[in-house]
Structure 1
């Protein structure tokens, strides 16, 4: 018996009957249900924790083109590439390690 021929038990009322008629019995391999590597993208709370900035500061830096832009992962969801965040942090640490002031010695 193929997957299409197997039927799920129908529910008598509400959304359940319609939904069971449309959903396949087995899980299919589609791009939406193939999990991404766990560390390849970060959601906003994880980005905030890594960079130490507030949500409004992150979006202000994005508007000023001083922070990586997020990628859309859903209709109402965004995430940041881990590699972009790590590169941004590395660039900030390089800026902090470079000398900012030249000190003149009095002779």
Structure 2
């Protein structure tokens, strides 16, 4: 959806440049689609 690699996403998360993930299980983490769509909208405006 974003075109970013996994390592870039985690790097951006640690820098506060990408939405944080939510843990839904011991080994499962997800992002809310609304958070990602908002991030895409903000990123394309810059």
Calculate the TM-score normalised by the size of structure 1. 0.43
Q: For 1:55 and 1:64, how far apart are their aligned partners in 2? A: 14
Structure in which a larger fraction of residues adopt helix: 2
- 5+ residue gaps, structure 2: none
Moved over 6 A (4+): none
| Matched position secondary structure for 1:51 | coil
- 5+ residue gaps, structure 1: 1-49, 96-107
- TM-superposed CA distance for 1:67, in Å, is 0.2
Calculate the TM-score normalised by the size of structure 2. 0.97
* Structure 1 position 81 matched with structure 2 position 43: no
* Larger-Rg structure: 1
Q: For 1:63 and 1:92, how far apart are their aligned partners in 2? A: 17
Indicate the RMSD between aligned Cα atoms, in angstroms: 0.4
- TM-superposed CA distance for 1:77, in Å, is 0.6
Higher relative contact order (CA 8 A, sep 6+): 2
